[in-house]
Amino acid sequence: MLRPQETESRSRLPLDGLWDFRIDRDGAGYDERWFSAPLQDARAMVVPSSYNDLVVDAEDRNFFGDIWYQRTVRVPRGFAGDRVILYFESATHRATVWVDDLEVTRHEGGYLPFEVDITDHVTAGRTFRLTVCVNNTLSFQTIPPGVIEDTPTGRKQIYWHDFFNFAGLHRSVWLASRPASHVDDLTVVTGFEGTTGSVRYDVRSVDAQQLTARAVLADADGVVVAQGDGDQGELHVDDVHLWGPGDGYLYDLTVQLLDGGTIVDEVHQHVGIRTVEVRGTEFLINGQLFHFKGFGMHEDHVTIGKGHNDALMVRDFELLQWIGANSFRTSHYPYSEDVMDYADRMGYVVIDETPAVGLNMGLGGGIFGGQGYTTYSPETVNDTTRQRHIEEIEGLVARDKNHPCVVIWSIANEPESETEGAENYFRPLFDIARKADPQGRPVGFVNVMLAPYGKCRVSQFGDVLMLNRYYGWYVNTGDLEGAEHAFTEELRGWATEGKPIIITEYGADTMPGLHQLPAQPWSEEYQVEYLAANHRAFDKVDAVVGEQVWNFADFATTSGIMRVGGNKKGVFTRDRQPKAAAFALRERWS
């Protein structure tokens, strides 16, 4: 599945803007067939955005269940003769879609795209009623998991991850056209030897037996540097300009399906030529040592929640550049395709994560102390959950496999990993990710402090060690000397495993504007000193090849006594202004 694009043979029309919207408080929408008529009692809602922070009523904001979106769509006349496709970049966490009265597709999973061919149900030049029912409930069989508990005051949605369960159509929706005979998927694998780059390509097409494929590679100036015929091939590039950290050099690969001299279909794929390798405790990009500097991030902004917005994305990357970061992790779910494209273009290195977060019932909202559930059991996280998890891994790799920015797949964040149940659950998943990725990138998962060195039973399966640690915050609170000592000791243990270690989270909640001398937790000064103590620990252990602070910016969470207007571990505030720690990091990283 390729994202809609504008080419010689394809068009796309964004369906973003104001849609009719209704929260289905009584769960009546399916029975009353809300899709079969204009949505009654509807209010306006923005696509793309989370609906939650746009409304002011607490019950609406915290609602779980069905929410309905509807709008009228006119199919452009120019789409006549082509296949007409609806493409959703995401619907969190699942969706059912109707074209007029007809259900055309369902999709599970809140952060990956899905499409449906609606050619047979619409007419070029005419309108149709598009209805989408989005559902945001979480269960033990969803990724991420959750549970609905009965309480004296009604049913409540519980989950174990530390960010607000934003819902809605978070990314663009497209009406797209493409020819019946078309390129369905495209894979590139890059490499280089000396100054010659290579791009292996593999074209999968539909209904194209009589057509021939042609691949043309152009450099960033549009000069053709290589071309080949056939569904598969390898292109060679003299004097290659590699893609690398801080140098987002992209070639453009045009793939055409030809009927003699006629172009039947054409797609474009930007290509960054680079290699990724783990060698002992080293992490290499293009054969050179790479040290990760950056953040675990969130798609989270004031008012729009998890909605994608280009302006806010650009601001985030401006700040990443200003602070000297070279990388980030898409904690804790796949990010918008626009973010991935922009990371390619800006030369940012990405650890790409599935939405498998909160598979740890020993944690509550990112904090110790769960609510008495067993994580892995036939009644909780079970084989059905794992099947969903596998689909998320395969779906993520399928979507992002061609991005040069992606250098590691993170298959989960902080699952319970110290038990036999964890070992059994995770054993096959790493190989599933490896098998899915034609580029053979390293695969790992993010380890939690509850499964420290010597206790974790899952890290044996990964190619890299990714650790989230809060020495000086959740433990050794306020005691940075003790924190540095304990962290160094643990790192020395992990270093004996002979794999590269990336610290994927370390951070301290900080109220912007709170100043204290001597520094105390929650003050800006403490965040600065906390980071310095952590850095001293990292710098003593050669196997540590990266540091990603938690978090880039403050973000929304569920209510909790450990959260003050959300999680405040941001180095930037939620509206993207620097705390004191930002200047300290800038000095270390620049």
CA distance linking residue 522 with residue 504, whole number of Å: 21
Of 65, 68, 27, residue with least CA distance to 156: 65
Residues 6+ apart with CB under 8 A from 357: 144, 160, 161, 331, 332, 333, 412, 413, 414
Report the nearest approach of ligand GCB to the CB of residue 414 (Å). Answer: 5
Q: Is 199 left (phi over 0), alpha (psi -120 to 50) or beta?
A: beta
What does the block give as tokens for 499? 């794999």
Please say which residue, 463 or 505, places its beta carbon nearer to ligand GCB. Answer: 505
Report the nearest approach of ligand GCB to the CB of residue 162 (Å). Answer: 4
Report the nearest approach of ligand GCB to the CB of residue 583 (Å). Answer: 22
What count of Cα atoms within 13 Å lies in the side-chain half-sphere of residue 126?
A: 8
In the sheet that 288-289 helps form, which strands lie side by side, from edge to edge?
A: 276-279, 282-285, 288-289
Question: Taking the alpha carbons of 508, 512, 516, 518 in that order, is the dihedral positive or negative?
Answer: positive
Residue 31 CB-density burial (10 A; 0-12 exposed, 13-18 middle, 19+ buried): exposed
Q: Give me the residues paired with residue 251 across strands.
A: 271
What count of Cα atoms within 13 Å lies in the side-chain half-sphere of residue 291?
A: 11
Report the nearest approach of ligand GCB to the CB of residue 19 (Å). Answer: 31
Shortest Cβ contact with ligand GCB: which residue? 366
Q: Just list the catalytic residues.
A: 414, 505
Please say which residue, 325 or 467, places its beta carbon nearer to ligand GCB. Answer: 467
Report the nearest approach of ligand GCB to the CB of residue 364 (Å). Answer: 10
Please say which residue, 468 or 534, places its beta carbon nearer to ligand GCB. Answer: 468
Report the nearest approach of ligand GCB to the CB of residue 505 (Å). Answer: 5
The contacts found for 8-11 with CB under 8 angstroms, 24 or more apart, are 8/263, 8/266, 9/178, 9/179, 9/182, 9/263, 9/264, 9/265, 9/266, 10/176, 10/177, 10/178, 10/179, 10/265, 10/266, 10/267, 11/76, 11/78, 11/79, 11/176, 11/177
The DSSP result for 18-56, as a single string, is EEEEEE-TTS-TTTTTGGGSPPTT-EEEEESS-STTT--
Q: Please give the residue ranges that form the binding site for ligand GCB (CB under 6 A).
A: 162, 332, 366-367, 413-414, 468, 505, 550, 567, 569
Report the nearest approach of ligand GCB to the CB of residue 72 (Å). Answer: 40
Report the nearest approach of ligand GCB to the CB of residue 468 (Å). Answer: 4
Alpha helices in 437-498 (DSSP H): 480-495
Please say which residue, 215 or 503, places its beta carbon nearer to ligand GCB. Answer: 503
Please say which residue, 82 or 505, places its beta carbon nearer to ligand GCB. Answer: 505
What does the block give as tokens for 586? 């800038």
Question: Taking the alpha carbons of 394, 397, 398, 399 in that order, is the dihedral positive or negative?
Answer: positive
Please say which residue, 414 or 418, places its beta carbon nearer to ligand GCB. Answer: 414
Please say which residue, 248 or 566, places its beta carbon nearer to ligand GCB. Answer: 566
Please say which residue, 4 or 366, places its beta carbon nearer to ligand GCB. Answer: 366
